[in-house]
Protein backbone atom coordinates (compact mmCIF):
# COMPACT_ATOMS: atom_id res chain seq x y z
CA UNK A 1 0.00 0.00 0.00
CA UNK A 2 1.29 3.43 -0.82
CA UNK A 3 -0.04 6.94 -0.74
CA UNK A 4 2.57 8.22 -3.14
CA UNK A 5 0.84 10.71 -5.43
CA UNK A 6 2.80 9.40 -8.41
CA UNK A 7 1.67 5.81 -8.17
CA UNK A 8 0.39 4.17 -11.37
CA UNK A 9 -1.88 1.11 -11.26
CA UNK A 10 -1.21 -1.39 -14.06
CA UNK A 11 -4.11 -3.77 -14.72
CA UNK A 12 -3.14 -6.43 -17.27
CA UNK A 13 -3.40 -10.22 -17.32
CA UNK A 14 -0.15 -10.61 -19.25
CA UNK A 15 2.87 -10.98 -16.99
CA UNK A 16 5.34 -9.82 -19.63
CA UNK A 17 3.42 -6.61 -20.24
CA UNK A 18 3.07 -5.91 -16.52
CA UNK A 19 6.75 -6.48 -15.96
CA UNK A 20 8.00 -4.26 -18.76
CA UNK A 21 5.57 -1.45 -17.89
CA UNK A 22 6.69 -1.64 -14.27
CA UNK A 23 10.32 -1.45 -15.32
CA UNK A 24 9.78 1.44 -17.71
CA UNK A 25 7.81 3.49 -15.18
CA UNK A 26 10.09 2.69 -12.24
CA UNK A 27 13.06 3.77 -14.34
CA UNK A 28 11.36 7.15 -14.73
CA UNK A 29 10.70 7.51 -11.03
CA UNK A 30 7.08 6.48 -10.83
CA UNK A 31 5.77 4.15 -8.26
CA UNK A 32 3.83 1.17 -9.63
CA UNK A 33 1.26 -1.32 -8.39
CA UNK A 34 -0.01 -4.22 -10.44
CA UNK A 35 -3.20 -6.27 -10.82
CA UNK A 36 -3.84 -9.38 -12.96
CA UNK A 37 -7.48 -8.72 -13.80
CA UNK A 38 -10.32 -6.27 -13.37
CA UNK A 39 -11.39 -7.47 -9.97
CA UNK A 40 -7.88 -7.32 -8.56
CA UNK A 41 -7.54 -3.89 -10.16
CA UNK A 42 -10.66 -2.56 -8.42
CA UNK A 43 -9.51 -3.99 -5.11
CA UNK A 44 -6.14 -2.24 -5.46
CA UNK A 45 -7.75 0.98 -6.63
CA UNK A 46 -9.98 1.10 -3.56
CA UNK A 47 -7.14 0.51 -1.18
CA UNK A 48 -4.70 3.15 -2.40
CA UNK A 49 -4.18 6.56 -4.01
CA UNK A 50 -3.31 6.54 -7.69
CA UNK A 51 -2.62 9.19 -10.27
CA UNK A 52 -3.48 6.90 -13.20
CA UNK A 53 -4.73 3.45 -14.16
CA UNK A 54 -3.21 1.69 -17.20
CA UNK A 55 -6.00 -0.69 -18.11
CA UNK A 56 -5.96 -3.72 -20.41
CA UNK A 57 -9.34 -4.73 -21.86
CA UNK A 58 -9.26 -8.47 -22.58
CA UNK A 59 -8.71 -10.11 -19.22
CA UNK A 60 -10.06 -13.18 -17.46
CA UNK A 61 -12.58 -12.96 -14.60
CA UNK A 62 -13.36 -9.26 -14.95
CA UNK A 63 -12.42 -7.47 -18.16
CA UNK A 64 -11.65 -3.82 -18.80
CA UNK A 65 -15.24 -2.91 -19.62
CA UNK A 66 -16.53 -4.42 -16.39
CA UNK A 67 -13.75 -2.67 -14.50
CA UNK A 68 -14.82 0.69 -15.93
CA UNK A 69 -18.49 0.07 -15.31
CA UNK A 70 -17.88 -0.66 -11.66
CA UNK A 71 -15.34 2.15 -11.27
CA UNK A 72 -17.79 4.73 -12.55
CA UNK A 73 -20.40 3.62 -10.02
CA UNK A 74 -18.03 4.00 -7.07
CA UNK A 75 -17.65 7.69 -6.01
CA UNK A 76 -14.43 6.93 -4.12
CA UNK A 77 -12.49 5.75 -7.17
CA UNK A 78 -14.56 7.25 -9.97
CA UNK A 79 -12.25 10.20 -10.59
CA UNK A 80 -9.00 8.29 -11.00
CA UNK A 81 -8.03 8.83 -14.68
CA UNK A 82 -7.83 5.73 -16.86
CA UNK A 83 -5.73 5.10 -19.97
CA UNK A 84 -6.65 2.00 -21.91
CA UNK A 85 -4.00 -0.24 -23.40
CA UNK A 86 -5.40 -2.53 -26.06
CA UNK A 87 -4.37 -4.74 -28.91
CA UNK A 88 -7.86 -4.65 -30.39
CA UNK A 89 -9.01 -2.05 -32.84
CA UNK A 90 -11.66 0.41 -31.84
CA UNK A 91 -13.81 -2.39 -30.42
CA UNK A 92 -16.50 -1.06 -28.10
CA UNK A 93 -14.27 1.73 -26.79
CA UNK A 94 -17.33 3.97 -26.55
CA UNK A 95 -18.67 1.69 -23.83
CA UNK A 96 -15.77 2.52 -21.58
CA UNK A 97 -17.01 5.95 -20.53
CA UNK A 98 -14.74 8.95 -20.15
CA UNK A 99 -11.30 7.43 -20.50
CA UNK A 100 -8.32 9.76 -20.89
CA UNK A 101 -6.55 8.05 -23.77
CA UNK A 102 -6.11 4.79 -25.65
CA UNK A 103 -2.69 3.28 -26.23
CA UNK A 104 -2.71 0.72 -29.02
CA UNK A 105 -0.31 -2.19 -28.74
CA UNK A 106 2.46 -2.24 -29.75
CA UNK A 107 2.89 1.28 -28.39
CA UNK A 108 6.20 3.08 -28.14
CA UNK A 109 8.26 3.70 -25.06
CA UNK A 110 7.81 7.45 -25.46
CA UNK A 111 4.05 7.19 -25.90
CA UNK A 112 3.78 5.50 -22.52
CA UNK A 113 5.92 8.07 -20.76
CA UNK A 114 4.19 11.05 -22.37
CA UNK A 115 0.78 9.71 -21.46
CA UNK A 116 1.69 8.87 -17.89
CA UNK A 117 3.46 12.17 -17.34
CA UNK A 118 0.37 14.04 -18.47
CA UNK A 119 -1.55 12.65 -15.50
CA UNK A 120 1.00 12.01 -12.79
Partner 1 sequence: MTALRDILREHDAELVAAAAPAQRSAARALRQVRRALGADDVVDDDAADDGALLSAVTAARLRRALRRVAAAAGVTPTWAEWEAIDDALDGPRLQAADADAADADADAAADADPIDASAELARLRVLMRAVIEQVPLAVAIVEAPSGRRLIANERNVAILGRLAPEAAAGIDGYGVYEGFRDDGTRLGARDWPVARSLISGEVVNGEVVELRRGDGTTVFIRISASPIKDDAGQTVAAISIFEDVTAERHLQDGVRFLAEASQLLGSSLDYEQTLKTLATLAVPRLGDWCAVEMLRPDGTSEQLAVAHIDPTKVELAVALRDRWPPDPAAARGMPHVLRTGAAELWPEVTDEMLVEGASDAEHLAHSRALGLRSAMVVPIVVNARVLGALTIVAAESGRRYTPADLLLVQEVAARAGLAVENAALYRTTQDAVRMREDFLAVASHELKTPLTALHLQVARLQGQAKKGPVVVDAERLERLDRQVGRLMRLVEQLLDVSRLTAGKLALDVGDVDLRELAAAAIGRVDAGSDGGVHGGGREGVDEGTGITLTSSGPAVGRWDKGRLEQVLANLIGNATKYGAGKPIDVDVSGDNDVVRLTVTDRGIGIPLADHERIFHRFERAVSASNFGGIGLGLWIVQQIVAAHRGTVSVKSIPGEGASFMVALPRRPSEVSG
- Binding residues (CB under 8 A) for partner 1: these are 13-17, 19-21, 23-24, 27, 57-61, 63, 87-89, 91, 105-109, 112
Nearer residue to partner 1 within complex by CB, 98 or 106: 106
Interior CA angle at 5 toward 54 and 16, to 5°?
Answer: 30
Q: Based on CB atoms, which residue is closest to partner 1, 56 or 82?
A: 56
11 φ, ψ to 5°? -115, 105
Give the span between the Cα atoms of 8 and 53, in whole angstroms. Answer: 6
Q: By C-beta, is 53 or 79 nearer to partner 1?
A: 53
Least distance to partner 1, CB of residue 58, Å:
4
The residues with which 86 forms a beta bridge, in sequence order, are 104
Q: Could you tell me the smallest distance in angstroms from the CB atom of residue 22 to partner 1?
A: 11
**78 cis-preceded (ω within 30 degrees of 0):** no
Amino acid sequence: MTDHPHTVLIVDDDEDIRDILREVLTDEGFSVEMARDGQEGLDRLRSGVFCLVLLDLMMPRKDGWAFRAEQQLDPLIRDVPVVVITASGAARLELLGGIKAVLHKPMSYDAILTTVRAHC
